[in-house]
Structure 1
Amino acid sequence: MSTIQVSNLTFAYEGSYDNIFEKVSFQIDTDWKLGFTGRNGRGKTTFMKLLLGQLEFSGTISTPVSFDYFPFPVKDPEQLTMEVVSDIYPDYELWRLERELSLLKVAEDALYRPYNTLSNGEQTKVQLAALFLKENHFLLIDEPTNHLDVHARELVSHYLNGKKGFILVSHDRAFLDHCVDHILSINKTNIDIQKGTFSSWWANKHLQDQFELNENEKLVKDIKRLSDASKRTGQWSHEVEKSKNGTRNSGSKVDKGYIGHKAAKMMKRSKSIEQRQQSAIEEKSKLLKNIETSESLQISQLAYPKSQLVELDHVAIRYDGKTVCRDVSFAINQGERIALTGPNGSGKSSLLKLILGEPIPYTGAFHKGSGLRISYVSQDTSHLRGDLSGYARDQGIDESLFKAILRKLDFSRLQFEKDMSLFSGGQKKKVLIAKSLCEEAHLHVWDEPLNFIDVISRMQIEEVLLEHQPTLIFVEHDIEFTGKIATKTVELKD
């Protein structure tokens, strides 16, 4: 057991006026299974690049281990899978690799197939198995769940639970709970490490936030009380000082020395109250710095004149002679939120495209309401480029509302000036979500909308869907989200 020591770490990207990290210090045990969480754009991937030595910084990072990053780039994906493994770890022992793959339920013949013929889930598992073969290495795992269905996520979480010595970036709450024993969180003003799962960290954060809110409320009242007292005492002092030049009611002269002493005493009391007030203000300024704002969102939903919007009856879809799905029957009724579930490759995205009106070859009966307006969130974000104002204009949505939603999803105003191609994966997905929330539609069709999106934003999206109850059909592998949102589940078989 040894430690990775981070001391006075300060870093900002070239040309930026704001530091991502400023004089940050903490330590990590190399045996920990460390979950890494924080809002999109806070610096999770940047921190891992700093550990890997890919960026220059001030401060020190002392480490007794080497770091490896997941996912690693594959130079030639047409190679056999075992050759891809050899590229990153030439000295691996085959029997050990086969043992790791068996734990991940990957077929043995996967090693003897071209890497690019493996599914995204199989590629994820092969990479993890290869990297965990290395000894005295600390693994930096960056969002491994993005290409995993629900079953594969559960399998990989159990696999990681049997390992140690890694940092895991994931926004899937259930996944983190199953395989980490510490949480590293990038907050607004600091980095915090706590022992436990994501759920225990989140519960502790709620308690801390509530404590700070209560303390803040008390200090606001104290500051007002002290301010009023200071004004009253200052006014009394002023009135007494004025009376030095006056006379008593009896006509005798006033005792200027006594009155001056009394005025000075009141002024001293006023200064003391002001100092206490200033101390209270300073104490208040320390609070609320790490409370995450999660303002409520809104959604534009149109009412459809009929209760049923879409109906599929014994639908089958075939591509290139291969049946993707068959015998699919369900209806989408107004107000329903339907989760389309099933393993990768079972036809979920194909069914969504059929509903969207794309030219998908199918058999069976498919009916879609006349004049139905659909808002779509796709998996793909590669088309996003240019500025947000131009994008809002091109999409025909209200720019002010669009940007207001992005602000609530933790976009800084600096992001509004950037080209969207420079956004992080989570920020790009938020652009698509915000666009969909702005669009007036009868039906929302969302295909894996939460990939890369941080936990707090996921919770905000959950809240708006539960509050406004739009008609929605979606594919999402986050079981926490699906369990809270879906009013009906349609499960597809492989």
Structure 2
Amino acid sequence: MILSCNHIDKAFGTKQILKDVSFHVEEREKTAIVGINGAGKSTLLKIIMNQLPADSGEVTLSRGASIGYLAQHEAVSGEHTIYEELLEVKKEIIEMEEKIRSLELDMKHQQGEELTATLDLYHRLSTEFENRNGYAYKSELIGVLKGLGFEESEFDKSVATLSGGQKTRVALGKLLLSKPDIILLDEPTNHLDMNSIAWLETYLLNYQGAVIIVAHDRYFLNKVVTKVVELDNGHATVFLGNYSDYATKKAMLRNAQLKAWMNQQQEIKHQEQVIARLKSFNREKSIKRAESREKMLDKIDRLEKPTELNSEIHLQLHPRVESGEDVLKVEHLSKAFDSQQLFSDLNFSVKRGEKVAIIGNNGTGKTTILKIINSVIKADAGSFTLGSKVHIGYYDQEHHVLHMEKTLFEEIADDYPTLTNTEIRNTLAAFLFTGDDVFKQIKDLSGGERGRVSLAKLMLSEANFLILDEPTNHLDIVSKEILEHALNQYTGTVLYVSHDRYFINQTASRILDLTGNTLVNYIGNYDYYLEKREELTRIYAPETSVSSVEQSTAAAIASSGKDEWQKRKEEQARERKRQNDLKKTEDQIQKLEARNQEIDDQMCLESVYTDVAKCMELNKEKTENANKLETLYEVWESLM
């Protein structure tokens, strides 16, 4: 065991965030902490890092173990280049290498005991240098940078000129290169594209230390973790397995809790009816019996109804009018910023009812395409045409469609002036904003809360063409599932950008991969894209260079889809084997039982029961058959 949390409590004011939270992490174990937004996940990580004091309880770290932490919005700063910033992590290695070179020069001029002492120090330093991967630290550093999505041409960029997301990636690279015994990662995939996420999955899977991850990316969690710690209403529950295992066990647990609650409610209702009936007799004995039952009822430890807060979000997307068959046509679209050409001569169309996902690496121009279609920015060349009766609803990942200075109530009221105060409050309540929450200013909301406001406005728009830019960013897993369900029920058309592979697989009917300055079309969901990616990219985007790092990350991405397919194949094979074994066992049982019946019939014959030797032979055979049958019955029961 490398880390343990014991009976952690934490409250902010009157709100209890963590209640008696206990769990432990073994060496090399990969653990996820999950829960809805506001459940206390980031708070728990800060308590583990001693950045925030717990009200009670303690965190114990194994003696001598090192720990590293990447906060949700952590970034680097300073005047270093990207490469120099990561090189800081290897400072001790570099100093050791310089010392070794210095000793080599010294030894040329030394003799006797002085040379012997220098040689001894040289060998010790050389061994340590090799053990700490000193001979390959530069290639390791370059591998991490490329894995996190930085091109070699960007290595000399100043950290000060980077975007917030790029600075976070640099901070993540520094943490990974420092190789602590236990890593804490808070939403590490937020600023990574698909290739980088797949690379990080592989890196963490092979990481020699322990890892604790807070993330909402279900594909990522499925691939990496072997234990899930769920925070729900302040309490922690530990589940062994990956996210899918957790979700299955959680559903079973919740169903069992719900069934127990319903049974108890039924029993309480029954007892109340009996008590009312006894009292209606209005006799001394019946009243005493009723009072006795009431006392028993009062002593019942009443169960709480199991609920999930965000499952109460009511998101229903209904277009006001139906659009024409042709919703969008994009022709010869091009866009560059300064000297960087994002894409050129893009051509695609979207038909009514399609759910189209645009995917691709960071910086390829996916969000730019959506902004051009929404007339937020202009294209350098080309055009787009909207079809008949098309009404757009736009969800912006940066929430520029929201007005930071307005309250939630004003945000809805100003955009939809025909709504009554009650209708506005009901709409906001459907997205978990009740009471005085509706008078909070947008600027004071968390990312997840702003996302819920944007979803509320999207629902009210009654648009028939939804354009969504990273709609699952900042949403917890329950909210993502609600959005997935709403989009799958939606009868309009959807065009969206997302890095959430699970979300894409659940909702997309078509995928456009923006690669090599062009779009490659895949008519299917994310699993289909994984299956056809290499083949179609080679045909339609042959100029796209695929480095060894990209090949490995592509393989890692594909493996997630192939793993699921392989699991299904293995499960089908196991089921076929079970059925075959079951039939063989039943045939053997029938054969032995039939033989025993023959023996019984023979034993009734005078020519047999008067022959002692024959009787003994048949009796021995029947005993052996009985033993075989006993074993076969056990096998049959297990197979059934």
TM-score range (shorter-chain normalised) is 0.7 to 0.9
What CA deviation, in whole Å up to 9, does each residue of 1:292-344 have, x standing for no partner?
A: 63454212423255322221123222332432112322112222221112222
Kindly report which structure 2 residues correspond to 1:138-287, keeping only aligned pairs within 5 A, or say none.
138-163=182-207, 164-236=209-281, 238-239=282-283, 241=284, 263=285, 266-280=286-300, 282-285=301-304, 287=305
**403-412 or 141-150, which deviates more:** 403-412
Query: 1:98, 1:108 within 8 Å by CA — same for their partners in 2?
Result: no
1:80 aligns with 2:77: no
- Helix, strand or coil: the match of 1:306? coil
In structure 2, C-alpha distance between the alignment counterparts of 1:283 and 1:353, rounded to whole Å: 54
- Bigger helix share: 2
Q: Secondary structure at the match of 1:343?
A: coil
| Larger deviation, residues 174-183 vs 105-114 | 105-114
Secondary structure at 1:297 match in 2: coil
Q: Select 1:45's aligned residue among 42, 46, 56.
A: 42
Q: Which moved more, 1:137-146 or 1:84-93?
A: 84-93
Write the deviation string for residues 208-229 of structure 1: whole angstroms up to 9, x where unpaired. Answer: 1111221222112211111111
Q: Given the superposition, is the C-alpha separation of residues 170 and 120 from structure 1 closer, same or farther in structure 2, using an over 3 Å criterion?
A: same
Counterpart position of 1:449: 471
The answer on 1:391 being equivalent to 2:411 is yes
SS of the residue corresponding to residue 492 of structure 1 reads: strand
Give how far 1:278 is off. 3.0
**1:455 Cα deviation from its structure 2 partner:** 0.5
Q: Aligned runs of 1:116-131 on 2, under 5 Å?
A: 125-131=169-175
Q: 1:92 to 1:139 in 2, by over 3 A?
A: farther
Q: Give the TM-score normalised by structure 1.
A: 0.84
The 8 Å contact of residues 97 and 130 in structure 1, kept in 2 or not, is answered as: no
State the shift of 1:135 in Å. 5.2
Q: 2:42 aligned with 1:22, yes or no?
A: no
Q: Partners in 2 of 1:402 and 1:98 — Cα distance? A: 57
Counterpart CA distance in 2 for 1:97 and 1:414 is: 55
RMSD (CA atoms): 3.0
CA displacement at 1:125 relative to structure 2 = 4.9
Number of the residue aligned with 1:69: 69
Is it true that 1:134 corresponds to 2:175 in the alignment? no
User: Is 1:348 the equivalent of 2:366?
Assistant: yes
What residue in structure 2 maps to residue 254 of structure 1?
none
Give the structure 1 partner of residue 529 of structure 2.
Answer: none
Q: For 1:375-390, list aligned pairs within 5 A.
A: 375-381=393-399, 384-390=404-410
Equivalent residues of 1:70, 1:140 under 8 A apart: yes
- 1:89–1:130 Cα contact (<8 Å) kept: no
* 1:70 Cα deviation after fit: 1.4
Which structure 2 residues correspond to residues 406-485 of structure 1 after superposition, within 5 A?
406-411=428-433, 413=435, 415-485=437-507
Q: Deviations over 1:419-473 (max 9, x none)?
A: 3323222222222222212213232111111112100000001111111233211
The structure having more radius of gyration, on CA atoms, is 2
Structure 1 stretch displaced more, 317-326 or 31-40: 317-326
Residues 375-418 of structure 1 deviation map (CA, whole Å, 9 limit, x = unaligned):
21112147634421122233336465565455444556564343
Q: Which of 302-311 and 201-210 deviates more?
A: 302-311
Distance 1:327 1:279, change over 3 A: farther
Secondary structure (helix, strand or coil) at the match of 2:43 reads helix
The 1:391–1:206 alpha-carbon spacing in structure 2 relative to 1, beyond 3 Å, is same
1:362 maps to which residue? Answer: 380
The structure, 1 or 2, with the larger RCO (C-alpha pairs under 8 Å, 6+ apart) is 1
Q: What CA distance in whole angstroms lies between the structure 1 residues aligned with 2:387 and 2:375?
A: 11
Whole-angstrom distance in 2 between the partners of 1:363 and 1:291 = 47
The alpha-carbon distance between structure 1 residues 403 and 372, as it changes in their structure 2 partners (threshold 3 A), is same
Query: 2:606 is matched with which residue?
Result: none
Cα pair 2:41 2:214 within 8 Å, conserved: yes
**C-alpha contact 2:331 2:348 (8 A) present in aligned 1:** yes
The answer to whether residue 351 in structure 2 is matched with residue 333 in structure 1 is yes
Percent identity for Structure 1 against Structure 2: 25
Determine the C-alpha separation between the residues in 2 that align with 1:43 and 1:129.
26
What is the rounded CA distance, in whole Å, between the counterparts of 1:393 and 1:290 in structure 2?
29
What residue identity is the alignment partner of 1:148?
A: L
- Deviation (angstroms), 1:73: 2.9
User: Cα offset for 1:42?
Assistant: 1.8
Q: Does 1:9 align with 2:50?
A: no
5+ residue gaps in structure 2?
Answer: 95-133, 517-640
Q: Is residue 312–residue 329 contact of structure 1 (8 Å, CA) maintained in 2?
A: yes
- Partners of 2:437 and 2:499 lie apart in 1 by 28
Q: Tell me the number of residue pairs that the alignment of Structure 1 and Structure 2 aligns.
A: 463
Cα contact 1:188–1:289 (8 A) shared by 2 = no
Equivalent residue number for residue 319 of structure 2: 301
Deviation, structure 1 residue 43: 1.8
SS of the residue 1:367 aligns to = strand
Q: Do the aligned partners of 1:319 and 1:361 also contact (CA within 8 Å) in 2?
A: no
Q: CA 1:84 to 1:402, structure 2 compared with 1: closer, same or farther past 3 Å?
A: farther
